[in-house]
Structure formats: C-alpha cells, structure tokens
Amino acid sequence: MDRLRLGEHVLPLGRRTYVMGVLNVTPDSFSDGGQYLDAGAAVARGLEMAAEGADLIDVGGESTRPGAAPVSEAEELRRVVPVIRRLAREARVPISIDTYKARVAEAAVDAGARFLNDISAALFDPGMAPLAARSGLPVVVMHMLGEPRTMQQDPWYEDVVREVGAFFEERIQALERAGVRREQMILDPGLGFGKRFEDNLRLLGELGRFGSFGLPLLVGPSRKSFLGRILGTPPLDRVEGTLAAVVVAVLQGADMVRVHDVRAVDRARRVVDALVRPGDPWTSGEEATP
C-alpha cells in the first residue's frame, strides 16, 4: 500500500509517521477523564492538537480503560456527534471516531468522521464490518483479549507476537469476506488491551514483524500503565516514556501513533523521520535557526 484514503483526505504511506491526537469526550478515561467532556472544551482541544501537529484527531465518547463500564449508545452519540461535526468543519485534518458501535460510527461518519477506530476489530457489533464496507473508510484492526471490563484479569500468552499475528490473519480474512477491502485496514497490536507488562514490551520491540502483512501499522503507547511501571509515575507524568515508545515504534515501522501529548510527539517523530524516512522533508525549504 502506498496511500491511505480517508474520504476527501489522502495520507501517503512510508514517507512520514502520522500523529493521531487522542480526544476523550468522557468523564472517566484513565489519564484525562473529564477534561473535555464539555463539547466546547473538546472542540478547543481538537483545534489545539491540529495546531500542535496532529495529522488526525480521534474522538471517543466511551472509556476503554481496564475495568471501564460500557456507555449507552444514546449517551455516546450525545457526547461525540456535536464535537465531530464542529471539528470536521473547523479543523484542517481528518477526524476519527473511536467506537465499537456501528450506529455511533455511522452517525459520526454522517457528521464528518473519516476514519473508523474500532478496538474490537469489528467483533463486538456485527454492523461495523458492513459499515466499513459501505463507507470505504479506513478501519482499525486492533487486538484485544476479552473486553475492557475484563481484559486485564490475568491475561496470558504462550507467544504474544505469534498469537497477535494469527488474530490479524483471521480478522483480515473475515473483514474481506464481509466486503471490506484490504487497503482499508490498519493493524494495531493493542498495547495495554489484555496484555501483561512483558507482552507490551515485546510487541513494541518486535512491531516490525507485523510488516509482513503489507498493511499500515498503528500503535498507541501513550501514557500506558507499562510506561508507568517503568517510570514510577502517574499517567499525566509519562511524556518522556511516551516519547521513547514512539521512537521505538517508528524505528520498527509504525505508520501512525495515537497519543495525548501531540506537540512533544510531533517534534520527536520529525527527528526520527528525518533519519529513517529522509525522502519527504518536514520543512518547507526554509533554513531552521540553530
């Protein structure tokens, strides 16, 4: 694949790493719950992330942290649709909807979303795959063990990289049978979603092995608990850990990183891309001041 089509937007692949800014319109997300529950505050943060260097803005109305309780479809719609509608008009970057509910995703697409970020890889709602097929929009194929309420209750793998790869193979085939084109799919190993500490480290360190599928790779290490275990810090104090994980992910071939701290990650990815993807300069030709 050489490009990803998001409706009217096109993202060339292999020439730069794309930053997806996290916008949680929720009261209980693990690191920023409640900060952007108000629609006005959420839109303002979305526009701020775009100015900071976000290439996409991922809007979610239901927390998927470990142990999180589900949110009703009506409540999720109430939270995300007004925010997406405004951001689709005012931001100059594509908007993503973070949901596993097909009706929420469809309403988000109608409001202007152009990317489907489904943590269940279209397993939780039978309507998600047909929606992806009809819309032609990119859809994330993410690995998760169980569901958010139970995923961290003693997860276990014999070989996490092999098992996540087998999951990708099965879901790619199932989605293709449902009419989703292969070039719509983005793979995400699901760091923190039903993974032990050592599983997260191994998936991050061996991310490049999933390049054999020939599909874009998305990684979401931002502020995750495995970083907190290493650093001994709470979620809001894990910027440096997130940056280190992003650098590793880019060196391993990640095409997209999903993060909260957009400005810092944008700067880090520019430096790494200059080293590993030098064919597409970040600057507009102007000399940078030393």
Which residue in this structure is represented by tokens 């990803």? 4
Name 90's Cβ contacts closer than 8 Å, sequence gap at least 6.
43, 47
For residues 133 and 183, is the Cβ–Cβ distance under 8 A? no
Active site amino acids: 224, 258
| Cα–Cα distance measured from residue 127 to residue 133, given in angstroms and rounded to the nearest whole number | 10
- The strand pair at 3-6 and 9-12 is best described as antiparallel
Residues in the chain: 290
Name 262's Cβ contacts closer than 8 Å, sequence gap at least 6.
19, 21, 49, 52, 53, 54
The CA-atom distances, in angstroms, between 94 and each of 30, 154, 252, 269 are 25, 37, 25, 19
| Cα–Cα distance measured from residue 60 to residue 77, given in angstroms and rounded to the nearest whole number | 10
Q: Amino acid identity of 149?
A: R
Name 250's Cβ contacts closer than 8 Å, sequence gap at least 6.
17, 257, 269, 272, 273, 276
DSSP 137-152: --EEEE--SS-TTTTT
